[in-house]
Amino acid sequence: MTNSIECVEKAEVFLIAGSNTTDNHPIIGHGVRRAIAKGAKLIIFEPRQIYLTSLATVWGRMRPGTDVAWINGLMHVIIKENLQDAEFVAKRTEGFEEVKAVVEKYTPERVEELTGVAAEDIVAAARLYASGKPASILYSMGITQHTSGTDNVKSLANLAMLCGNMGVEGGGVNPLRGQNNVQGACDMGGLPNVYPGYAKVTIEDAKGKFEKAWSTELSSELGVPLTEIIPKAAKGEIKALYIMGENPLLSDPDLTHVREAFDKLDFLVVQDLFLTETAKVADVVLPASSYVERRGTVTNTERRVQLMEKVIDPLPGTRPDWQIICDIATRMGYQWSYDSESDIFDELAAVTPQYAGISYARLEAGEQLCWPVPTKDHPGTPVLHIGQFSRGLGLFHAIEHRDPAEMPDADFPLILTTGRILEHFHTGTMTRKSKGLDALVPRPYCELNWVDAENLSIEDGDRVRVESRRGAIELEVRVQDRVDEGVLFIPFHFWEAAANELTNTALDPIAKIPELKVCSARISKA
């Protein structure tokens, strides 16, 4: 997030895209609702009818996979009507003329053909966003989980810069992270192409810095992202996997292919709290401790570093992750001898510029620190890009719409999209073990529009079979208006009818994220 969670309630206008915020990020969702109650306006682009659509001044009900088109459409109207922040564009950005040339083709009428959103709603959304000072963009995996995910994010950044909504309280481009420490894992170098602090592994100076800090020789070769590890395992190119706190046998696309890949592994280790679907097929399971049984930090969606204190002792036979990892490293010949979590954090701060001024002592004293915190007396940076972007000038990207990897056809005429629900979290590893939560939504289901149901002679509550080119599942159907004609929605976390049996492995070429939000499907009575 370029801005803090506190900034959310300072927005005059919200543009929410690809996020069921009140269900999946309820605290931030409450902030949005409070701001609206005080007079803020909401624009939402969302294919499903959700709670926030009832509060929206403009609801663009677009077809899944058409985000670049509607964003370009908004920019077309803003530029045509001269509503952009000309001073911001001139002084703080570059590449605007290339974007202007591309979006000129995205008239409201053409965007309506591409997205299904009425031309007048495109115009209304553009005028409202451009008039809002400040205006905040919030997005989540409905924007990123596409083969065009990187393009979608760049397009939202284009829109924010066009209207001068960067580097201001209440504005910005704000991705809402899916778990409490996704941001922190990335910051720590949990990506295949960077060291901690996003220093690229291909840069020799960065490599030298970490070789010196860690007293070991490092490689300049890029690592392999998860979405390419599975295909490599299937080909026999990767022989062993060590999986921590992840459940790819439920969360990854095309589960048949994932199972085949895991069957070809020589050795699989899973380190987790519970015997997940993935842990059940492991050669070794290492029992870890839960967050209440250990100390440590998480870095949340707004870049805030938070200290988590241990509440109870670990259950017998379980240990904190860092202790397990250190012992394995030691047995492999590399002595990792940290005395405490704070020792590890001190090393992190020494090699990561964004964390340089953060320490356990400051966090224990109750300081609220959003990185970057470059020095020990720095107060943190709740809002990024005030006065200047980190690269100097903000770079516009001229981007064309392109269709998803798989489009509906005669054999598979519907669009399947997946997501989370309020009552269960991610793959349900913990929430489905809560009797109260599981009682609220105990069974898998899919949502189908009334018109499609009538055409297929399907009634509410029927057991149906949903198929794609990769597999089939059976589950209960809910016939309603929450989804548009031609669209199916399935929560992905039910192992009994896993939506990822159906989803597509096609990847964004840059981020390598799979297109979990769009694939073609068909439905029939079971």
81/227 same-domain check: no
What pTM value is reported for the model?
Answer: 0.95
Both 214 and 107 in one domain: the answer is: no
Residue 336 clears pLDDT 90, i.e. is over it: no
Please say whether the beta carbons of 141 and 133 come within 8 A.
Answer: no
320 and 246 in a common domain: yes
Provide, rounded to the nearest whole percent, the portion of the chain with pLDDT above 90: 96
User: Do 80 and 207 belong together in one domain?
Assistant: no
| Same domain as 189, residue 172 | no
Q: Are residues 210 and 359 in the same domain?
A: yes
| Assigned domain for 85 exists | yes
CA dihedral sign, ordered 49, 50, 56, 60: negative
Q: Taking residues 114-133, report their average pLDDT.
A: 97
Residue 381 lies in a domain: no
User: Which among 176, 206, 226 is the end of a domain?
Assistant: 176
In tens, the pLDDT along 171-229 reads 999 999 988 899 999 999 999 999 999 999 999 999 999 999 998 999 999 999 989 99
The CATH number given to whatever domain includes residue 419 is: 2.40.40.20
Q: What angle do CA 60, 62, 64 make, to 5 degrees?
A: 145
So what's the pLDDT on residue 179? Answer: 87
pLDDT at 58 over 90: yes
39 and 149 belong to one structural domain: yes
| Element containing residue 36 per DSSP (H, E) | helix 26-37
Question: What is the structure's pLDDT at 335?
Answer: 83
Instruction: Tell me which of 118, 148, 176 is where a domain ends.
Output: 176
Between the two ends of the chain, the Cα-to-Cα distance in Å is 44
Judge whether 393 lies within some domain: no
* Span 325-341, average pLDDT: 91
Q: Do 434 and 343 share a structural domain? A: no
**What does DSSP say about strands 463-467 and 519-525: parallel, antiparallel, or unpaired?**
antiparallel
Domain count, the chain: 3
Give the pLDDT score at 65: 97
Instruction: Provide the 8-state DSSP code for 53.
Output: G
Structural domain that includes position 166: 6-176
Task: Give pLDDT, residue 178.
Answer: 86
- The verdict on 156 and 214 lying in the same domain is no
CATH code at position 31: 3.40.228.10
pLDDT of 293 reads: 95
pLDDT at 180: 87
Mean pLDDT of the residues in the chain: 96
Average pLDDT, stretch 489-501? Answer: 94
pLDDT tens-place string over residues 73-107: 999 999 999 999 999 999 999 999 999 999 999 99
Q: Are 57 and 120 within one domain?
A: yes
Task: Specify whether 52 is located in the same domain as 116.
Answer: yes
Q: What is the pLDDT of residue 9?
A: 94
pLDDT band at 20 (very low <50, low <70, confident <90, very high): very high
- Summarize pLDDT for 415-450 with one digit per residue, the tens: 999 999 999 988 888 899 999 999 999 999 999 999
> So what's the pLDDT on residue 43?
98
pLDDT at 222: 94
- Percentage of the chain beyond pLDDT 70 is 100
Question: Is 1 a member of any domain?
Answer: no
| pLDDT score of 13 | 98
Does residue 377 form part of some domain?
A: no
Q: In the predicted model, is pLDDT for residue 380 greater than 90?
A: yes
Using the Cα atoms of residue 364, residue 367, residue 373 and residue 375 in order, give the sign of their dihedral. Answer: negative
